[in-house]
Structure 1
Amino acid sequence: MEPLRIAVIVGSTRQGRVGDDVGRWVAGIAAGRADVRPVVVDLADYDFPPRHPEQPTPEIRRFTDQVAAADGFVVVTPEYNRSFPASLKQAIDYAYDEWHAKPAGFVSYGYRSEGFHAVEQLRTVFTELHVMTVRNGVGVNLLAGEPLDSEHRRCAAHTMLDQLAWWASALKDARGRRPYVS
């Protein structure tokens, strides 16, 4: 069986962010699996326009092509004021059909809440886009001083990736048998 293409979307574009480190960490764990081929999609690498244009720009098309090619997603997000960053919302909104009938898992980070409020907001958005969100995720409390690659985080990442791979495989098979109707 061909490995599932999982896009690890790094949602923060702030200078001094930790999201790129977190994204590389989870992509590294995913790369150790035989059933998954992770591709890091870092929003800081895209030159998106400041306003939503009438027609997609080449950078928007480059992003939506990554979403379309993926069998599933790991969204890496910080929590800003009990939600997720505007850069991530902007990118999510550039695609629509490309998201349909695919699963998403979450790796979130923040202070005390570990980014869980951001994930709950994202679950609502992804429901509207017909994305199946997996139950388990990974949370990082930036105040705790615990190393990112702790044993309990690795276990949480493996559990999330197990669920994500199951759903990605099932939904890929289903999309292959019958087009998704939204």
Structure 2
Amino acid sequence: MNPTADVAAPLHTPLPAPLKVAVIIGSNREGRFGPVVADWLLGRLRERDDLTAEVVDTADAGLPTALSYSPTPEVTAELAKITPKLAAADAFVVLTPEYNHSFPASLKALIDWHYEEWRAKPVGFVSYGGVSGGLRAVEQLRQVFAELHAVTVRDTVSFHNAGASFDDEGRHRDPAAPDAAAKVMLDQLGWWGSALREAKAVRAYGG
């Protein structure tokens, strides 16, 4: 008699699909530093199996600040390039500089042209600037995303005096601290993204 005959075989639990993260470059200003920070972040994302990234760049958006319920064909065409990426995302990371104690108008326009795409999804932040490291822009963005029913994760990545922190090849000169901060932020983003995705699969968000 086989003593293991009555022991049930272990069930195979399929691994969940990686979360789709939209990385939003918030600045469209001439000479912007955002792409350098974005490349650094994408490098951290490529090291993970639980997250995949797609870039949404406000410099490619061309969205006006004047909102409309009946956008022109030109604006509709611009939205068609952006909205599907936001809708498909499970989570977001917003890269923002700080302009005059706030965040760029290009980022506000991209946010305000959308609504449902943000709901019940987590948002992480990577900021950069001078002494403040863009943190004042992040604090204002938390209020904006709360109004849109998004969940902002607690920990951020911020680069103080960002221009001096990277070399000419876009490599951070002292990567230990920002790499550790990025891991914490992305871990939180992954937890919230998975939790909210599973919750919405059971019951639609009704907020």
TM-score by length of 2: 0.84
Cα offset, 1:45, TM superposition? 1.2
Q: Which residue of 2 aligns with 1:24?
A: 39
Q: Which residue of 1 aligns with 2:9?
A: none
* 1:168 aligned residue (178, 190, 193): 193
Cα offset, 1:143, TM superposition? 5.9
C-alpha separation in 2, matches of 1:163 and 1:33: 13
Structure 1, unmatched stretches of 5+, are none
Q: What is the Cα-based RMSD across aligned positions, in Å?
A: 1.4
Is contact 1:112-1:143 (8 Å) kept? no
Q: Which residue of 1 aligns with 2:7?
A: none
Q: Does 1:127 align with 2:152?
A: no
SS in 2 for 1:159: helix
Q: Tell me the alpha carbon deviations over residues 140-170 of structure 1, each in whole angstroms, 9 at most, x when there is no partner.
A: 1126833363210011011100000010000
Count of aligned positions: 182
TM-score by length of 1: 0.95
Q: Which residue of 2 aligns with 1:55?
A: 70
Q: Does 1:97 align with 2:116?
A: yes
Q: Tell me the alpha carbon deviations over residues 9-64 of structure 1, each in whole angstroms, 9 at most, x when there is no partner.
A: 00000010001111121122112100000111111112223532332412123322
Q: Which residue of 1 aligns with 2:50?
A: 35
Q: Which moved more, 1:136-145 or 1:19-28?
A: 136-145
* 1:6 aligned residue (18, 21, 28): 21
Q: Which residue of 2 aligns with 1:138?
A: 157
Q: Which entry has the higher C-alpha Rg, 1 or 2?
A: 2
C-alpha separation in 1, matches of 2:31 and 2:165: 19
Q: Tell me the alpha carbon deviations over residues 102-155 of structure 1, each in whole angstroms, 9 at most, x when there is no partner.
A: 000000011100000000000000000011100101001126833363210011
Q: Which residue of 2 aligns with 1:114?
A: 133
Structure 2, unmatched stretches of 5+, are 1-15
Is contact 2:23-2:93 (8 Å) kept? yes
Is contact 2:25-2:95 (8 Å) kept? yes
SS in 2 for 1:124: helix
Q: Which residue of 2 aligns with 1:15?
A: 30
Letter in 2 for 1:5: K
SS in 1 for 2:53: strand
SS in 1 for 2:132: coil
Is contact 2:122-2:189 (8 Å) kept? yes
Letter in 2 for 1:48: L
C-alpha separation in 1, matches of 2:44 and 2:122: 18
Is contact 1:5-1:39 (8 Å) kept? yes
